Amino acid sequence: MQLDSKAQAIDWAPPLEGQDATAAVEWLLQFATRHQASDVHLHMDREGCRVQFRLDGVLTHVGTLPTEAAKLILGRVKYLAKLKTYVESLPQDGRIAADEVGLASDVRVSTYPTVTGEKLVLRLFYEEHQLALNQLGFPAGVNKALEHQLGIRAGMILLTGPAGSGKTTTIYALLQRLLEIDPCHVITVEDPVERVIPGIMQTEINLERGLTFAKALKHLLRQDPQVLVIGEIRDEETAAIALRAAMTGHLVIATLHAGSCRGVVERLNALSDDPNLVASQLRLILNQRLVRRLCADCSGKGCAPCFGSGLRGRVPFLEMLRLDEANQGAIETKRLARLEPDLSFEQSRDDLLGQALTTEAEINRHLQL
Ligand SMILES: [Zn+2]
């Protein structure tokens, strides 16, 4: 169902007559926005300019532009981004102001010379409203476990998953829910702050100035937090501070890079070198992916809005592990093979396929990550 590289999107119709690059660039950006593309790739090669959109995380070929028209269009994009239009042999970075092209947000532009000609990547931004916990598409059991943990206000919740899998959105939804249940002092250390949540104290690390997660946390613990959010636990020092904070009556919510719930435990054990402490403070692990959803307009057959892929929008694909007595025991006795997730990827896959929300191929693509 995927478009092959020579095919074109069904409604791909850039206005190219009259050599009006202004109209063509506006059309292209609005076409991309209408399809919620996160990036537009324009790559000059011998046959013209290949146009690809990143849609729901996947780079998708949408059409080609003839060489002469493409040169004018690329020149216009560079002009709008205040780049040197005559420079094609060096990389440049710029920004197009939203009102110049009739969009709601600015467009970030990056150019790079390749052996077949210039390559431009345009990053689009969307004003999306923050989803509430019960709008994330999690199964009821996962929401219930998360809410329960928020109510306890101690120990550690860890999220894992590849970049772009929705971890930050989940954390913000948890914080909003937390403030609804019981307003408390929440401090975050992020890299960077992606969305401002009213009512909490959000801070950013700054590696250039030496403000690492560990250094920021040492100071922030003196700011009397009840809940600490740590953008990422990536070193031993941060792991030690996070575990100590959890042990001393703070709820800690953090991400940690691993491929599975068990991988999170392995990594935290390695960073802290104290499985008993990990077993006593870790409460819940959520391993999150976003898989593309079957297109609601064509039920997977392929239509214009989904570029013929049959997939549009995304739905969470999850693994969740709670630290009940059995799982705590497995960590304390270093028998991690005995860890039993409350929701396994297999169960999550069966749920999604049972509700016809996605395809097996899409699930398998994510299981390989
Ligand atoms: Zn469709």
Could you give all domains of the chain from N- to C-terminal order, each with its CATH number? 17-124 (3.30.450.90), 133-367 (3.40.50.300)
Q: Give the helix/strand (H/E) hosting 29.
A: helix 21-34
CA atoms within 13 A on the CB side of 54: 11
Contact call for residues 248 and 156 (beta carbons, < 8 A): no
Using CA atoms in the order 58, 163, 174, 363, what is the torsion angle rounded to 10 degrees?
A: 50
Residue 6: band (very low, low, confident or very high) from pLDDT cuts 50, 70, 90: very low
Q: What is the pLDDT of residue 208?
A: 92
294 C-alpha vs ligand 1 centroid, how far in Å?
8
Radius of gyration of the chain (CA): 23
Average pLDDT over residues 307-313: 90
292 C-alpha vs ligand 1 centroid, how far in Å?
12
69 C-alpha vs ligand 1 centroid, how far in Å?
30
Q: What is the pLDDT of residue 3?
A: 43
Q: What is the pLDDT of residue 9?
A: 61
Model confidence at 109: pLDDT above 60: yes
Average pLDDT over residues 132-137: 96
CA angle 339, 340, 341 (to 5 degrees): 120
165 C-alpha vs ligand 1 centroid, how far in Å?
22
Q: What is the pLDDT of residue 369?
A: 56
Average pLDDT over residues 99-110: 92
107 C-alpha vs ligand 1 centroid, how far in Å?
27
Q: What is the pLDDT of residue 7?
A: 52
CA distance between the termini of the chain = 22
Q: What is the pLDDT of residue 4?
A: 44
Using CA atoms in the order 235, 239, 241, 247, what is the torsion angle rounded to 10 degrees?
A: 180
6 C-alpha vs ligand 1 centroid, how far in Å?
19
Query: Which of the pair, 252 or 102, is modelled with greater confidence?
Result: 252
Task: Choose the weakest-confidence range: 16-25, 114-123, 170-179.
Answer: 16-25
Q: What is the pLDDT of residue 2?
A: 44
CA distance 94 to 355: 44
CA atoms within 13 A on the CB side of 299: 2
Contact call for residues 106 and 99 (beta carbons, < 8 A): no
Q: What is the pLDDT of residue 269?
A: 97
Q: Which two tokens stand for residue 226?
A: 């009840």
51 C-alpha vs ligand 1 centroid, how far in Å?
20
Average pLDDT over residues 324-353: 97
Considering the chain, what is the average pLDDT of its residues? Answer: 93
68 C-alpha vs ligand 1 centroid, how far in Å?
32
62 C-alpha vs ligand 1 centroid, how far in Å?
14
Task: Measure CA 185 to chain center.
Answer: 26
296 C-alpha vs ligand 1 centroid, how far in Å?
7
Q: What is the pLDDT of residue 17?
A: 84
187 C-alpha vs ligand 1 centroid, how far in Å?
42
Task: Measure CA 119 to chain center.
Answer: 24
355 C-alpha vs ligand 1 centroid, how far in Å?
17
All residues at 6 or more sequence positions from 185 whose CB lies less than 8 Å from its CB, including other chains:
201, 224, 225, 226, 227
Model confidence at 79: pLDDT above 90: yes
> Mind listing the pLDDT tens digit for each residue in 343-363?
999 999 999 999 999 999 999
Residue 10: band (very low, low, confident or very high) from pLDDT cuts 50, 70, 90: low
Q: Which two tokens stand for residue 101?
A: 């092209």
301 C-alpha vs ligand 1 centroid, how far in Å?
6
Q: Give the helix/strand (H/E) hosting 138.
A: none
How many residues are there in the chain? 369
Q: What is the pLDDT of residue 368?
A: 73
Complex ipTM value = 0.99
> Mind listing the pLDDT tens digit for each residue in 261-306?
999 999 999 999 999 999 999 999 999 999 999 999 999 998 888 8
Which amino acid, 206?
N
Q: What is the pLDDT of residue 93?
A: 95
